[in-house]
Amino acid sequence: MAKDHADPDLDRELEDLPPELRWREWMRRIEAVLFASASPVPREDLARVVGHGASVDLLVEDLAADLEGRAFEIAQVAGGWMFRTRPAYAPAIRAAADVDEQAHDLNEYDVAVLAAIAYHQPITRDGLKDIFGKEISRDLFGRMHARGLIGTGPRSPRRGAPYTYVTTEQFLVAFDLETLQDLPDREQLEDAGVMPATGA
């Protein structure tokens, strides 16, 4: 969503407004940007719509408080913020809307493969075969890629230069993670049987 230049028609400072109304207008601008974006919006982008020196973090915090009791909330994921429906309303959405295309419908094996990619990225198909003890189907890679959860990483620096796989921003959004550092402890996942033990 980043833009290389500021809109010259946008009055960022709003100096003609009293401080309370200025703050409220900045909150509404952030709300409008988040509403219009399908992906997380980073702090730098939000700073382009508010006055110089205004705290984007405090504005987002006040906006989140303003949304208390509503069906949606602001989530901090993938290095930015985005609107997200509160989990309590998921059954209502599934009952009323066609969300099959949006649902990830991941089984345990899919989650285990995604976890292995997340923890070992960039990783080749052979690297995943070593972890799981069997070949991972191209169909699974295709489905994960189509859902935007994985992407192609750099070529591996070994013979044949095979492609590697990495997780994407959509992976972070889907699993409600701000960064990969927010992944659960790998040993806990191994103990829970979600991810095969690597011995490393």
Domain boundary among 52, 69, 94: 94
The count of domains in the chain is 2
In this structure, is residue 64 part of a structural domain?
Answer: yes
Tens of pLDDT, residues 159-170: 888 889 999 988
Same domain, 126 and 161: yes
The parent domain of residue 41 ranges over: 19-94
pLDDT tens-digit readout, 14-29: 888 888 898 999 999 9
CA distances, 94 to each of 51, 89, 101, 125 (Å):
40, 9, 11, 34
> Are 72 and 40 in the same domain?
yes
Pairing of strands 80-85, 150-152: unpaired
CATH of the domain at 57: 1.10.10.10
Q: Is this structure's pTM higher than 0.75?
A: no
The residues, any chain, with a CB within 8 Å of residue 144's CB and separated by 6 or more, are 110, 113, 114, 150
